[in-house]
Amino acid sequence: MIRFLKIASSASGLLLFFLAILFNLNLFFTPLELSWTSDSPLGILLRAPMEFVFGYPYLPATLFVLLLSLQCFLINSLFDMQKWLIHNSHLPGYCYLLLCSLFNSSLMLTPAFLSVFLVLIMFNVGYRSLNSKSYVPVFDLGFYLSVASLLYLPILLLSPLVFVLYARTRQFVLQEWITAAIGLLLPYFFSLSYYYLTDNLPQMAAHFVPSNTAYQLFKGGYSWLKILLLIVAVALGLYQVQESFMRQAIKVRQLMVLSTTFLYCSVLAFAFPPYINIMPLNITLVPLAILFAYGMIQIEDFKIPEIINACFLLIMFFFHLAEVF
């Protein structure tokens, strides 16, 4: 299956969507409860739609599968845009699907899950504008990051990554940095203005105070298996990047550095709330899937990636069956 997904095609795209349904079948057979506790400005707006979605038995799982499939294709687009390979591939999206499905009952339709869309759009805008002299993409980069943080605050920890993206791919231009900072601050300015005019500033302040609700990091027994899988994925990706780094073109090296920096910045989100929280994993899985896919592709013996994939699938279905039965 890994060999089939290495090269993008219409057939592999259909397979990826079919696997999104298969890997999340457990959600259709277990009772789902709304755990939306976000006090952020956008989180409050989305609370009513989430309550409506969870009011129907199969609608939350269906919506999650559709949104997860869309995220997979956005990650494939991001990977192909970076030109890590000479051909397009659907493997990064599959790796993201595999890792998300392993934690699907905890990550389903959380604020962090929805904010991933804005993060992916932000990086797509950033990579598409590398050779552009316009200030519009620079503003958009900070704007999307700011809007995403209004939904899930720890995404602000990715702010240094926005400036690293430009520092490593462009010459330093003060006007561009100021434009990005304006885009980053503008949504907060409008939010603070609205809450000030409605005499509701304490509600805005609640956005900066972590919720008292703790999401259990790993549900059920044998949690060490999930931790082990994440360690394997990180180690394999970083090892292959290190081994092939000097053989790559300079632009690809820069993009590899950005992806690894993205991974390190996203890990910092776990230290943001004072409680053990599963939601930052949504952000971490984006660069992790890209590095994991690249690590699988660089292995010359085609049997080893298939064995690794089989081990991940066995452990994933083990946890899913335990949840259902």
Query: Could you tell me where the DSSP H helices lie in the chain?
Result: 2-6, 10-22, 41-53, 59-81, 91-102, 104-107, 111-128, 136-151, 159-169, 174-197, 201-205, 223-244, 250-267, 281-298, 303-324
Phi and psi torsions of 29, nearest 5°: -115, 5
pLDDT of 275 > 80? The answer is no
Residues 299-318: tens digit of each pLDDT: 888 888 888 889 889 888 88
pLDDT of 240 > 50? The answer is yes
Give the model's confidence band at 23: pLDDT under 50 very low, under 70 low, under 90 confident, else very high. Answer: very high
From the list 276, 287, 283, the residue with the least C-alpha distance to 219 is 276
> What does the pLDDT read at residue 21?
93
3 state SS of 68: helix
- CA 190 from centroid of its chain's CA atoms: 26
Task: Tell me the C-alpha distance between 29 and 24, whole Å.
Answer: 10
How many residues appear in the chain? 325
With the C-alpha atoms ordered 132, 90, 61, 63, is the resulting torsion angle positive or negative?
A: positive
> What does the pLDDT read at residue 96?
92
Enclosing domain of residue 223: 2-324
> What does the pLDDT read at residue 62?
92
Read off the pLDDT of each residue in 235-246 and give the average, rounded to a whole number: 77
pTM to 2 decimal places: 0.85
Task: Tell me the C-alpha distance between 99 and 266, whole Å.
Answer: 16
pLDDT of 196 > 70? The answer is yes
Residues 35-71: tens digit of each pLDDT: 766 677 887 888 888 888 888 888 988 999 999 999 9
pLDDT of 252 > 60? The answer is yes
Range from 18-22, 76-80, 240-244 carrying the lowest mean pLDDT: 240-244
Counting the structural domains of the chain, the total is: 1
Measure the N-to-C terminal CA separation of the chain; round to a whole number of Å.
28
Amino acid at 210: P
pLDDT of 208 > 70? The answer is no
Contact present, 263 and 256 (Cβ < 8 Å): no
Give the model's confidence band at 216: pLDDT under 50 very low, under 70 low, under 90 confident, else very high. Answer: very low
222: left (phi over 0), alpha (psi -120 to 50) or beta: left
Highest mean pLDDT: which of 13-22, 157-166, 227-236? 13-22
Task: Tell me the C-alpha distance between 197 and 178, whole Å.
Answer: 27
Read off the pLDDT of each residue in 1-22 and give the average, rounded to a whole number: 86
Task: Tell me the C-alpha distance between 287 and 267, whole Å.
Answer: 10
- Number of Cβ within a 10 Å radius of residue 183: 23
Task: Tell me the C-alpha distance between 194 and 204, whole Å.
Answer: 10
Amino acid at 276: I
Task: Tell me the C-alpha distance between 98 and 114, whole Å.
Answer: 18
Give the tokens for residue 95: 């790796």
- CA 194 from centroid of its chain's CA atoms: 29
As a whole number, the mean pLDDT across the chain is 78
Question: Who wins on pLDDT, 103 or 253?
Answer: 103
> What does the pLDDT read at residue 68?
93
